[in-house]
Amino acid sequence: MAVIGVVQPAPVERIIVALDSTSPEQLFPLVDALMNSGVQWFKVGLATWISGGPGFVDRLRAKGARVFLDLKLHDIPHQVRLATQSASNLGVELLTIHACGGAEMVAAARDGASAGMRVIAVTVLTSLDATVTDVICAGEKAVASGADGLVCSPREVKAVRQSLGGDVLLVTPGIRPSWSTRDDQKRIASPRDAIHWGSDLLVIGRPITQAQDPITAVQRILDELAA
């Protein structure tokens, strides 16, 4: 059900490793090791962006990494359009905005994005409680306003997929392998369940980045997906 091109991606190509750090320079050995194991995607969140800025993204791109810039933009449409243009210029492929910013803001983000970047609307943060109806309603409005895809928890992804069809890219945080802890995520599921329910890309952070052996952690996730 993936919509990331014509060919079904390999499981490792569906993993986005979340890079969340106030010392992003220290992340590059991890990035190199993960890329050598087949990981392509990396999420740059607020802490990493504030600490490392565009230079950090430039270095990721220079290594051949695919970048998901998770800034959850929520501002007046003009500012969001400009920010989206700037992200496009960096070669970012995925950028998040908040669905609750409204139709005009979502449309402005899409207007500012290049053809090579997709605008992904965050429905409801996975640290918050939400009903499936809340998520579907937010998602439908965002897509109708031009969003290329949605961020939703694995608990809603099946219903969102059924409601919006196969052409909407669904990016799923709150992924916790069977052997990991919940941390501060509330609406979680395993990688295997999320893919089965219709997720295209899985955002996984601490179960990989804080593992004693991150490469082994990735392999365990791939084994879980293949089981």
- 72 among known catalytic residues: yes
Active-site position among 43, 63, 72, 186: 72
First to last CA, the chain: 18
Contact 98, 73 (CB under 8 A): yes
d(CA 155, CA 177): 14
Q: Which residues are catalytic?
A: 72
